[in-house]
C-alpha cells in the first residue's frame, strides 16, 4: 500500500542528499572538531560554515548561532539561561506555546518568578497589543512562538518584538521558530533577540537544533562541560546532524518549491469543504496561518479513531502535536477554549514541499468517507 504521509509537523523524512552527507561524515568528517590536527579543524570549519548557512536563511547578519541537540533544548537554554534572572523580574509567555517553552516558564514560576501567560484567540493567535500590555519595566523575557505547531497559527513576531521593545527596550524577546524556520519569511529580525530552530522539521535528521542570538544578548550555557560551541554548549557536537541541517536549509532556500505546501493546503481545504460538520481550527485569515499545517475538527468523531481508520488506508496524520499526543486531551485545546466536541474531533494534517495534489485529495476523500461511517456509530 502506498503511504500518504501528512504529519510533517511531527517530523519529516530526511532528504536524499543527507545520504551523501552521511557517507562523507562516516568516511571523512567524523573527527572530533575540538581536536588539534587538520582533519579535526576541517570538521570545525564545516560546523562554522553550517552556522553561516543557517543565519543566512534566518536573514540576519547580526545574529550568532549555537548548535544544540533539539528545539526543546534550544528553548530551555534561552528561557532558563537567556535573560537576567533577578529577584524582581517577570516573564511573559504565549498561552499556546510548545511544551518545551511552557514547561520552562512553569519551572521559572516554581522558582518564584512571576510569569504571565497570554490567552490566544481560538486559533492560537496572539496580538502585539496583548503582549505589550503584559510587558512592564521589570520584564526580563518575552516568548511567543512564530508558528503554532498544533493549529498552524502564524504570529506576527516582528510586530510583537517591536511592541515589546517599545514598552521596555531592555526586555529580551524569544520566538520558537521550530515550525516556521525556512517556511515563513521574516523581513526584519533586529528585535528578535533569540530564535530557536530544529533540523528534523526541515527534512534533516533528528538530534540537532540551534539558537540564533544577538551578540551582546545575555546567554549562558545550559549544558556544562568542555566548553564547545564557543563556551555556550558543551558536549561533542553532533556534526552529522549539523551538516545535514545546513544541507536541508540550503535545499529549502535554493531548490524547494516553497509554494507547494500552500498549494496543497488550499486544495485540501477546498476538498474538505464538502464534509458536514467540520470546524476549521486553523485561522481562516491567510495572514494569520502558516501554509503547511491544517487543524480541523470533525464533530462527532474522535480524532484518534479517525487517525487509526485513516492509517488503515496508509494515511498518516496526527490528533495534535506528536510531542503531547500520548498525554490525553490536548493542553492546547484547553488554552484555545475549544468545546469538548471540537477538542475531541481535532486532527492535524501537515504538508511538505513533496506533498502532492493527489495525496491530499485522497486524504480528504478518506476523511469524508470515514467521518460518515464513524458518525453512524457515534450519533445513533
* Least distance from a second copy to the Cβ atom of residue 115, Å: 14
Known catalytic residues are 323
Is 25 a binder of a second copy (CB under 8 A)? yes
Are the C-beta atoms of 126 and 94 separated by less than 8 Å? Answer: yes
CA dihedral 342→149→147→76, nearest 10 degrees, is 130
Q: Does 208 bind a second copy (CB under 8 A)?
A: yes
**Strand pairing report for 90-94 and 172-176:** unpaired
Kindly tell me which residue out of 50, 51, 55, 71 binds a second copy, with binding defined by CB under 8 A: 71
**DSSP helix/strand/coil, 57:** helix
Of positions 24, 40, 269, 365, contacts a second copy by CB under 8 A: 40
Member of 14, 94, 128, 283 binding a second copy (CB under 8 A): 14
- Cα dist. 164→74, 94, 148, 170 in Å? 21, 13, 20, 9
- 218: contact with a second copy by CB under 8 A: no
- Out of 4, 7, 335, 367, point to the residue binding a second copy (CB under 8 A): 7
Nearer to a second copy, 13 or 190 (CB): 13
Report the SS3 class of residue 376. helix
| Per-position x/- string for 176-205, each x denoting binding to a second copy as judged by CB under 8 A, each - no binding | ----------------------x-x----x
Q: Which of 4, 10, 135, 332 binds a second copy (CB under 8 A)?
A: 10
Specify the pairing of strand 278-280 against strand 209-214: unpaired
Beta carbon of residue 150, minimum distance to a second copy (angstroms, whole number): 12
Q: Measured from the CB atom, is 185 or 326 closer to a second copy?
A: 326
For a second copy, which residue of 89, 279, 322, 361 counts as binding (CB under 8 A)?
322
Of 32 and 168, which CB lies nearer to a second copy in the complex structure? 32
What is the nearest approach in angstroms of a second copy to the Cβ of residue 20? 11
Give the DSSP letter of residue 68.
E
Concatenate the DSSP letters of all residues of 168-200 into one string. Answer: -TTSEEEEE-TTTTTTS--S--TT-SEEEEESG
Shortest Å distance, C-beta 5 to a second copy:
8
Positive or negative torsion for Cα 117, 122, 124, 125: negative
What CA–CA distance (Å, rounded) separates 144 from 334?
Answer: 18
Q: How far apart are CA 348 and CA 80, in angstroms?
A: 30
Q: Phi then psi for 348, rounded to 5 degrees?
A: -115, 130
Q: Which of residues 97-126 bind a second copy (CB under 8 A)?
A: 98-101, 103-104, 107
- Residue 247: all three cell numbers together: 544541507
Is residue 30 near a second copy by the rule CB under 8 A? Answer: yes
- Site residues for a second copy, 136-155, by CB under 8 A, read none
Q: Which is nearer to a second copy, 25 or 58 (CB)?
A: 25
From 191, 196, 319, 355, residue interacting with a second copy (rule: CB under 8 A): 319
Amino acid at each position: 500500500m502506498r503511504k500518504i504521509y501528512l504529519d510533517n509537523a511531527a517530523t519529516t523524512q530526511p532528504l536524499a542528499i543527507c545520504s551523501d552527507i552521511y557517507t562523507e561524515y562516516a568516511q571523512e568528517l567524523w573527527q572530533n572538531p575540538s581536536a588539534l590536527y587538520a582533519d579535526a579543524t576541517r570538521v570545525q570549519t564545516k560546523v562554522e560554515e553550517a552556522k553561516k548557512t543557517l543565519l543566512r536563511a534566518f536573514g540576519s547578519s547580526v545574529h550568532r548561532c549555537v548548535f544544540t541537540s533539539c528545539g526543546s533544548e534550544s528553548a530551555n537554554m534561552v528561557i532558563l539561561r537567556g535573560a537576567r534572572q533577578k529577584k524582581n523580574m517577570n516573564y511573559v509567555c504565549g498561552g499556546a506555546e510548545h511544551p518545551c517553552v511552557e514547561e520552562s516558564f512553569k519551572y521559572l514560576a516554581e522558582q518564584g518568578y512571576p510569569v504571565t501567560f497570554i490567552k490566544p484567540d481560538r486559533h492560537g493567535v496572539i496580538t502585539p497589543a496583548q503582549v505589550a500590555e503584559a510587558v512592564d519595566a521589570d520584564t526580563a523575557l518575552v516568548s511567543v512562538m512564530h508558528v503554532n505547531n498544533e493549529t498552524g497559527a502564524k504570529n506576527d513576531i516582528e510586530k510583537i518584538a517591536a511592541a515589546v521593545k517599545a514598552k521596555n527596550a531592555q526586555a529580551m524577546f524569544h520566538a520558537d521558530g521550530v515550525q516556521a524556520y525556512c517556511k515563513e519569511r521574516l523581513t526584519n529580525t533586529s528585535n528578535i533577540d533569540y530564535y530557536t530552530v530544529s533540523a528534523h522539521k526541515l527534512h534533516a535528521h533528528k538530534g540537532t537544533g540551534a539558537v540564533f542570538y544577538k551578540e551582546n544578548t545575555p546567554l549562558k550555557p545550559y549544558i556544562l562541560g568542555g566548553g564547545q560551541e564557543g563556551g555556550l554548549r558543551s558536549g561533542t557536537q553532533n556534526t552529522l546532524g549539523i551538516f545535514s541541517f545546513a544541507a536541508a536549509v540550503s535545499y529549502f532556500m535554493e531548490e524547494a518549491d516553497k509554494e507547494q505546501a500552500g498549494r496543497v493546503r488550499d486544495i485540501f481545504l477546498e476538498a474538505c469543504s464538502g464534509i458536514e460538520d467540520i470546524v476549521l481550527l486553523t485561522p481562516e485569515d491567510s495572514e494569520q496561518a502558516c501554509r503547511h499545517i491544517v487543524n480541523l475538527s470533525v464533530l462527532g468523531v474522535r480524532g484518534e479513531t479517525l487517525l487509526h481508520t485513516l492509517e488503515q488506508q496508509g494515511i498518516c496524520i496526527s490528533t495534535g502535536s506528536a510531542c503531547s499526543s500520548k498525554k490525553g486531551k490536548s493542553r492546547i485545546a484547553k488554552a484555545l477554549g475549544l468545546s469538548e466536541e471540537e477538542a475531541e474531533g481535532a486532527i492535524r494534517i501537515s504538508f511538505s514541499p513533496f506533498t502532492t495534489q493527489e495525496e491530499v485529495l485522497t486524504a480528504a476523500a478518506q476523511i469524508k468517507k470515514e467521518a460518515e461511517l464513524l458518525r453512524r456509530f457515534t450519533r445513533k
